Amino acid sequence: MRVGRVDAKDEELLSPDSKAWQEAPVNEVVLSPAPLEMQPTEYIRVARNGRPYGVLSSMKVSALHNGDSVFFHLIWQDGSEDGPIKDINQFADAAAVMFPMVEDAPLIGMGIKGKPVNVWLWRADWERPKNVAAEGMGTTVRRDDPALSSAARHANGQWDLIVARSLNGKRAPQGTVALAPGTVTKIAFAVWQGSEQERAGLKAFSPDWQELELDA
């Protein structure tokens, strides 16, 4: 996946209908349910056995940067908009992009001790995405990160989400990936459908890392 460089202001790149996005190449990312046997507790494996989750099979992804910030534009089908919860048995929709912190950090299980990953997690009931550091399942630490921002819209049964982060590494929370123009790294994606009580490992995800190349 290429992250094209454009000469556009942050505001334009945070607007899903802008010219920059209309011209950006679209990648089809294949998703599948995070495997039942990978779910971290027996309870979750038993409770979701025969109760489908992560059924979303693909999403559209475009990526751009303007030298200052990087922007990921994610589009996926979701018949119900699940924002701030109105009852305690409800869950909000969510999506995430994930990067390896070292070359061979495993995608499945969200890293492992000594081989961390960095996740930018958007949730429909949050004001801004959170910056998540992980070294394996159950180890995630969520931090506020003023350098992260997002724009989200639900219309006609689909989410249009832009997640953005400054490329400036200064004062980044511990465990934040350093993305720079002219470099190559990897990326993965995940989506949670709140209406299906998806949360934690109950999600649709891209099972393989995709190469991510930032234009110089």
The tokens for 161 are 């989400």
Q: Shortest approach of other proteins to residue 138 CB, angstroms?
A: 5
Nearer to other proteins, 110 or 147 (CB): 110
How distant, in Å, are the alpha carbons of 54, 181, 189 from that of 93? 12, 31, 14
Coil/strand/helix, residue 43: helix
Nearer to other proteins, 45 or 60 (CB): 45
Bridge partners of 71?
Answer: 64, 164
Segment 88-91 long-range contacts (CB within 8 Å, at least 24 positions apart): 89/197, 90/194, 91/192, 91/194, 91/197, 91/198, 91/199
Nearer to other proteins, 27 or 41 (CB): 41
Q: Shortest approach of other proteins to residue 193 CB, angstroms?
A: 15
Burial class (CB in 10 A: 0-12, 13-18, 19+), 113: exposed
Q: Shortest approach of other proteins to residue 12 CB, angstroms?
A: 33
Residue 131, φ and ψ in degrees, nearest 5: -100, 120
Q: Site residues (CB under 8 A) for other proteins?
A: 39-47, 51, 85, 87-89, 137-138, 140, 142, 197, 199-201
Q: Shortest approach of other proteins to residue 69 CB, angstroms?
A: 27
Rg of the chain, C-alpha, whole Å: 16
Q: Shortest approach of other proteins to residue 125 CB, angstroms?
A: 9
Nearer to other proteins, 10 or 125 (CB): 125
Nearer to other proteins, 60 or 199 (CB): 199
